[in-house]
Amino acid sequence: MSTPSPVTQSGSRPVTAREFRDVIGRFATGVTVITTEYDGVRYGSTASAVSSLTDDPPMLLICLNRTSATAAAVRDSGTFAVNVLAEDHVDLATRFASRVPDKYEGVPTETASNGSPLLVGAIAHLICRVAEPVEAGTHYVFLAHVEEATSYPGHPLAYFRGRFGRMQTAPEASVLREVRARVLDAGSDVEEVIDTGRWAEELGVDANLIHRALVALADEGLIRRQGGEYLITPVPDSIIDEVYKAKLAIETGIAQLTVGTAEPEQLARLRELMEDTLGFVKDGHFTDPEGWVRANERFHEYMVELAGSAILLDTYRRLCLPGLNLRALDGGSYASSSLLDDHRELVEAYEAGDVDTAAAVLRQHAGRPLEMRHQDQLRRGAPAAAVD
Ligand SMILES: Cc1cc2nc3c(=O)[nH]c(=O)nc-3n(C[C@H](O)[C@H](O)[C@H](O)COP(=O)(O)O)c2cc1C
């Protein structure tokens, strides 16, 4: 197998902070909240820089920015707890990474023997005493003795390249692939409540594995969660219209912020990602619909990332565009090569610093899915309006 071409490469010059973040972000971690109490006040910070150190004596280390209020409180109290978050704790992770005045408001807690708050529902608690605080550049590294350790059932929250996710065992991954294929094979006008028990029987696997796969697909936007049930729902024109309007609003705003200000290396990366999207359309069809959706996702998300706002990126991802596109497309779907022309023109507008052209291309691009769908219906002989 040949080595793939690198995404980020510093070569022999010094590694920039951006490159380091991008490359180290490939190291997937769990997510914890470090909690402590000092002088009657409770502190807490989301942290992924946590590592076990020695098992005899049991020791671990945490790295906290010196600007963090929690870091100062850990330094002063000499005690803390590590709360390992569960996969449904994205809200807690976000809350404890924010600067809200009272991070504990509405969060169920208990108190550890060393006085640190313990988050109820965490999948592990480690009660720690600082052995040595080390100052390392912008951070404190706290080497600590683990005085008590408790684990609970549950699956961990994962963090990879700036996104929260789930850890997956190999059997989970293979069931997810099969369940996903079934949902995609259902077509875009099917309405079905998924019968977890029947699917488990048909695939010969435990119903829990099916359930976990459904949770992941709902997060991706491929199916809908309603009460305790999971539904395959049709993808009518009205949903495509609504989501693409929101996408256009975000992307036009991003263009206003970034056209003319993007760095040359960012423009080069944008062009590379655009070029990766070419070649997926041949003779009026997608050669590989899933490949197209993924390449298209990387290109558009990179544009959003250029604004440097995690909130914007998160909002954009909540539109679940890849899931919507995957449900709406199949191998036979009509595909217009204008999609690729739009991408090319968009990058050219970025390179020319021409925000008006970029906005105009984005507008025409946002109309393509419905345009293509209507073409598709005409080609297949169905009246265009019948789908909605
Ligand atoms: C997934 C994730 C992991 C983080 N890991 C760390 C970390 O290891 N060390 C750190 O100092 N900050 C980390 N942060 C940032 C802090 O949570 C954030 O700066 C927080 O606002 C600090 O709160 P405080 O000032 O109340 O202590 C992380 C944030 C997120 C979302």
**So where are the chain's domains?**
26-160, 168-232, 237-387
Provide the 3-class DSSP secondary structure of residue 63.
Answer: strand
User: Of residues 186 and 69, which shows the higher confidence score?
Assistant: 69
Give the pLDDT of residue 339. 94
Q: Which CATH superfamily is domain 26-160 in?
A: Electron Transport, Fmn-binding Protein; Chain A (2.30.110.10)
Q: What is the mean pLDDT of the chain?
A: 91
Shortest-distance Cα residue to atom 10 of ligand 1? 64
Say which CATH topology domain 168-232 has: Arc Repressor Mutant, subunit A (1.10.10)
For residues 299-314, average pLDDT? 92
By percentage, how much of the chain surpasses pLDDT 70? 97
For residues 57-61, average pLDDT? 98
For residues 277-288, average pLDDT? 90
Highest mean pLDDT among 6-10, 89-93, 167-171 belongs to 89-93
d(CA 221, CA 321) in angstroms, rounded, equals: 8
Shortest-distance Cα residue to atom 9 of ligand 1? 64
Contacts of 256 (CB under 8 A, 6+ apart): 355, 359
CATH dotted code for 237-387: 1.20.120.530
pLDDT digits (tens, 9 = 90+) for 120-133: 999 999 999 999 99
By percentage, how much of the chain surpasses pLDDT 90? 69
- Examine the pLDDT at 34 and tell me if it is beyond 50: yes
Give the pLDDT of residue 257. 96
Q: Ligand 1 test: best mutation among 33, 42, 45, most atoms within 8 Å of CB?
A: 45
Please identify, by atom number, the ligand 1 atom nearest to the C-alpha of residue 139.
11
pLDDT digits (tens, 9 = 90+) for 307-330: 988 888 988 988 889 888 888 887
The residue type found at 141 is V
The residues with which 62 forms a beta bridge, in sequence order, are 50, 142
Which pLDDT band holds residue 384 (cuts at 50, 70, 90)?
very low
Which pLDDT band holds residue 167 (cuts at 50, 70, 90)?
confident
Please identify, by atom number, the ligand 1 atom nearest to the C-alpha of residue 67.
25
Give the pLDDT of residue 144. 98
Give the pLDDT of residue 2. 63
Shortest-distance Cα residue to atom 31 of ligand 1? 97
Residue 46 Cα to ligand 1 midpoint, Å, equals 5
Residue 11 Cα to ligand 1 midpoint, Å, equals 30
| 310-346 per-residue burial string, b: 16 or more CB within 10 A, e: under 16 | eebbeebeebbbbbbbbbbbeeebbbbeebbebbebb
For residues 37-41, average pLDDT? 97
d(CA 341, CA 343) in angstroms, rounded, equals: 5
The residue type found at 113 is S
- Examine the pLDDT at 378 and tell me if it is beyond 70: yes
d(CA 8, CA 22) in angstroms, rounded, equals: 7
Q: Which residues line ligand 1 (CB under 6 A)?
A: 31, 43, 45-49, 63-65, 68-70, 93, 97-99, 159
User: Of residues 198 and 380, which shows the higher confidence score?
Assistant: 198
Give the pLDDT of residue 1. 55
d(CA 181, CA 341) in angstroms, rounded, equals: 30
d(CA 238, CA 244) in angstroms, rounded, equals: 10
User: Of residues 186 and 79, which shows the higher confidence score?
Assistant: 79
Which pLDDT band holds residue 331 (cuts at 50, 70, 90)?
low
